[in-house]
Chain A
């Protein structure tokens, strides 16, 4: 079975400070990892993904994530948070061979001015 853990229900950060949203996963075989963001009354938006290659993945809106195989983690980061980054963030994993995408419980990010 595959699973994703996002240990923090909420992350509070001041605008301009670095933002980190944690994610660990469990899956058999090679993982495909994804980050999505959900704004109120809008669908999930794709941020970035890791498939293979460089462990540091850069995505939309200045976000990046680092794949760490030994720690089975895929933490999302942004060097300088904006108030507009306040949203609900989901980490997701799937087996390389398979369709099912399993989501973490989500982490709400609140960026204060």
Chain B
């Protein structure tokens, strides 16, 4: 099956610093990539959707200036958490979808655990 990787798998940073998380589709081209946030014992909440070469579409309530998303190629999307604060500590998960058909399933990365001190 299709493989999506994330790097790093975990990161600890100081409050006020920025953290970049990478999401890569390893064996397919991802026209669309998605970023989710998962709180402990809760479901995944979609943060934003990005298409290669265009600006990301953010969900209501997600600050686009705080969570910068770049989808520069068909295999790489990055999420940068700017000026991180303890409340940004969470499990961030990306997914990727091959092709333009919206019925294609998303393939998920293993997630990145961010802890902001």
Contact = CB atoms under 8 A, between A and B. Distances in A.
A105 B45 CA distance: 10
A94 B102 contact: yes
Contacts of A105: 42-43
Given A43-B111, A99-B32, A100-B46, A32 B102 contact: yes
A100 to B, nearest CB: 6
A103 B34 contact: no
Interface string B33-47: 010000000111010
Contacts, number: 52
B67 interface: no
Which of A32, A46, A94 has most B Cβ within 10 Å? A46
A46 B107 CA distance: 7
A42 B110 contact: yes
A34 B105 CA distance: 8
Contact of B106 (A41, A42, A101, A102): A101
Interface in B66-117: 93, 95, 102-103, 105-111
**Majority-rule SS of B interface residues:** strand
Contact of A43 (B32, B46, B93): B93
B61 interface: no
A104 B110 CA distance: 19
Interface in A34-69: 34, 36, 41-46, 49, 51
**Majority-rule SS of A interface residues:** loop
Contact of A101 (B1, B46, B110, B111): B46
A100 B42 CA distance: 18
Contacts of A42: 110
Nearest to B107: A46
B4 interface: yes
A32 B34 contact: no
A56 B44 CA distance: 26
A100 B106 CA distance: 11
B93 A44 contact: yes
Interface of B: 1, 4, 6, 32, 34, 42-44, 46, 49, 57, 59, 93, 95, 102-103, 105-111
